[in-house]
Amino acid sequence: MLTRQIARTSRICCRRCYATDTSTTPPMLLKIKNDMKTAMRNRDSDRLSVLKGIIAQTLNASKTSSPITTDMQVLALLKKNTSASRAASEQAKGAGRQDLADKEECQLKVMEEYINDVEVMGEDDIRSAIQGVVDAIKSSAIQVREGDVLKKVFSPEVLGGKPVEKKAVAKMVKQILAES
């Protein structure tokens, strides 16, 4: 009796561990997974290997302290992979291995398709949002600090769910605070 209960509990636990939770999966990653299935059906081995690699990297990241939960994190992963592929392509060309360079170029094309699909907010929109937050903090007669501005900028009311690169926003905040 007890062994049946333990076996049943472990099956339930395993189902929970390996089930895909679509509520926390970024839309871009869902698109990549669907495209991987399409590549499998079409027997497109080049595209399939690139997409499997991306999914494997996101799975590895989910086991760390900073899992990939947003489209911007997936975009950063893709940009990192494209720069690595460019470097590998250049090295292969330098070594006289055109076959490896062509393979890397093919991988670049697949990854750049996904990078070009993401619409990032324009610099002017981000700058005006930051300026609005800085003006609001100044009007409340509180000392303007960079950390306070960043907290307000990344709140859901301002830029919370919008596709922005955090490093670029932080750089703009420093510039705006230096100007004022």
> If pLDDT is split at 50, 70 and 90, which confidence band does 18 have?
very low
Determine the residue type at 74. Answer: V
Closest CA to 169 of 141, 130, 139, 143: 130
Residue 20 DSSP code: -
Give residue limits of the domains in the chain.
23-117, 123-179
pTM of the model: 0.64
Number of residues that this document lists for the chain: 180
Average pLDDT, the chain: 81
| Higher pLDDT among residues 156 and 88, named by residue | 88
Query: What pLDDT is recorded for position 15?
Result: 47
Q: Which residue type occupies 4? A: R
Residue 172 has pLDDT above 50, yes or no: yes
- Angstrom distance (rounded) from CA 76 to CA 138: 33
- Sign, CA torsion 102/33/167/60: negative
- Rounded distance, CA 143 to CA 150, Å? 14
pLDDT at 1: 58
Averaging pLDDT over each range in 5-9, 40-44, 129-133, 150-154, which range is the top one?
Answer: 40-44
Query: Residue 24, SS3?
Result: coil
Which has more confidence, 32 or 20? 32
The H or E element containing residue 123 is: helix 123-139
Are 68 and 29 in contact by the 8 Å Cβ rule? The answer is yes
If one compares 80 and 151, the residue with the highest pLDDT of the two is 80
Q: How many CA atoms lie within 13 A of 176 on its CB side?
A: 25
Q: Lowest mean pLDDT of 3-12, 53-62, 74-83, 99-108, name the range.
A: 3-12
Q: Which residue has the higher pLDDT, 53 or 168?
A: 53
Pick one of 1.10.1510.10, 1.10.357.10, 3.40.50.150, 3.40.50.1220 as the CATH number of 23-117.
1.10.1510.10
